[in-house]
Amino acid sequence: MRVEVLPVEKWAGTVAAEFEDRLGPGLRLCLATGATPIPVYSLLASDALASSTVFLLDEFGGLPPGHPGRCETMLRSALLDRVPAREFHFPVVDATDLEIECRRYRDLIDDGGLDLAVLGLGMNGHLGLNEPGSGAQQPTRVVELTPETRDGARRYGANPPPNWGLAMGLVEILAAREVWLLVTGPTKAEVLDGVVNGPVTEQLPASLLRGHPNAVIWADEEAGSLM
Ligand code: PGA
């Protein structure tokens, strides 16, 4: 795993430039929402995703369509409304049969796989909605959310916060040809230190990236201060 620690003021510009370098015709991307990637997304050129297919990393359950706390809404307003993708796929949490929906989404991802997955890091070490205890073999599925993740959803305006979600599985994420973990701010320093220097354990799902052949952590100096 490669670890890049960048000055706070250079972080978003560097990651955005690296991201644009990767883009090419037909690229298949998994993109996260949350606060961390927003400064990167805001720097991308308006045609950056014109030939890419974007898969949303996860979605909260129980919020009405269009709710500002829904991951789909967040990705549209932080990125896709200004930088449209050739194709955008997301898990439909309003589907009547969620098991069928999970299979549909998983098959769509598997049909070509992912070239690059861009992820954030949860305060509890989760990747997407793969909470502590999630194994590398777990596929896209419905998950119960931990109190830390529910707090995160509250920050995004979901109040009361959802208690379940639909998670792209670690098996699909770890099969991506390249995985990026974006981490900023002093509140992530301790968990990031655990991801890089602690044991590789399902209790800290992001540590499983250490077994990935092409994973990069893009941290700013605040998040990287304890490593
Ligand atoms: P954040 O969320 O970018 O809003 O900190 C990351 C996450 O919980 O995965």
Atom 7 in ligand 1: residue holding the nearest Cα: 122
Give residue-wise pLDDT tens across range 192-219: 999 999 999 999 999 999 999 999 999 9
Active-site annotation holds for 124:
yes
CA distances 220 to 2, 10, 15, 170, 210, Å, are 14, 8, 10, 25, 19
Class of domain 2-185: alpha beta
User: Which of 121, 150, 191 is the pocket-test mutation for ligand 1 (most atoms within 8 Å of CB)?
Assistant: 121
* Ranges of each domain in the chain: 2-185
Q: What is the pTM of this model?
A: 0.97
Beta bridge partners of 164: 144
Q: pLDDT category, 115, cuts 50, 70, 90? A: very high
Please give the pLDDT value at position 9.
Answer: 98
Q: pLDDT category, 52, cuts 50, 70, 90? A: very high
Give residue-wise pLDDT tens across range 119-130: 999 999 999 999
Please give the pLDDT value at position 99.
Answer: 98
Q: pLDDT category, 85, cuts 50, 70, 90? A: very high
pLDDT, the chain, mean: 97
Please give the pLDDT value at position 80.
Answer: 98
Please give the pLDDT value at position 213.
Answer: 98
Atom 8 in ligand 1: residue holding the nearest Cα: 122
Active-site annotation holds for 89:
no
Catalytic choice (131, 172, 220, 222) = 131
Average pLDDT over residues 100-119: 98
Active-site annotation holds for 58:
yes
